[in-house]
């Protein structure tokens, strides 16, 4: 299982990797020492913009990300890391936890009325309790992902 740990400069990339379903941690602030320790402990590939860190560390699973724009960064990860098959939209974008479907009635009052009226399927993050629905971020993001990847 390919898992990632993004450095402080790659918060946006981290969200996009999560959106594609990859287990991705983004911790900010984080020191270089802590970054490496956590990667080793959890068996994660470090993605970093810091050339100096990439050169000096003995941890081998570290990938230097050279592009500035997250769209290019996403492509760069695809080129530099052999990515396994993933399940897009399976993780909470805020905290990386696997989301679960939730009975529609349970979100009544927790989401805007027009959202409740419009959408059938709802999901929740068991950790941060954020609610997602099909439509909103899923459709927009799919469109955007296609734009980026194609």
| Residues within the interface to Zn ion (CB under 5 A) | 92, 94-95, 97, 125, 127-128
What does the alpha-carbon distance between residue 116 and residue 145 come to, in Å, rounded to a whole number?
A: 26
Give the nearest distance from C-beta 13 to Zn ion in angstroms. Answer: 18
Residue closer to Zn ion (CB basis): 47 or 92 = 92
Side-chain-side CA neighbours of residue 150 (13 Å): 6
Residue closer to Zn ion (CB basis): 19 or 65 = 19
What does the alpha-carbon distance between residue 69 and residue 78 come to, in Å, rounded to a whole number?
A: 14
109 secondary structure, DSSP code: T
Give the nearest distance from C-beta 21 to Zn ion in angstroms. Answer: 14
Residue 44: phi and psi, rounded to 5, are -110, 150
Residue closer to Zn ion (CB basis): 30 or 95 = 95
Rg (CA), the chain: 17
Residue closer to Zn ion (CB basis): 83 or 128 = 128
Burial of 17 (0-12, 13-18, 19+ CB in 10 A): buried
Give the nearest distance from C-beta 24 to Zn ion in angstroms. Answer: 13
Give the nearest distance from C-beta 17 to Zn ion in angstroms. Answer: 15
């Amino acid at each position: 299982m390919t898992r990632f740990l993004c450095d402080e400069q790659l918060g946006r990339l981290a969200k996009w990797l999560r959106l594609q379903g990859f287990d991705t941690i983004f911790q900010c602030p984080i020191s270089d020492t802590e970054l490496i320790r956590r990667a080793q402990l959890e068996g994660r590939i470090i993605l970093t913009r810091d050339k100096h860190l990439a050169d000096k560390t003995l941890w081998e699973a570290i990938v230097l990300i050279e592009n500035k724009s997250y769209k290019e960064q996403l492509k760069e990860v695809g080129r530099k890391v052999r990515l396994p098959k993933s399940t897009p939209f399976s993780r909470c974008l805020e905290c990386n936890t696997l989301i679960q479907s939730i009975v529609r009635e349970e979100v009544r009052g927790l989401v805007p009325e027009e959202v409740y009226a419009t959408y059938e399927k709802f999901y929740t993050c068991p950790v941060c309790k954020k609610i997602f629905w099909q439509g909103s971020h899923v459709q927009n993001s799919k469109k955007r992902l296609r734009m980026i990847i194609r």
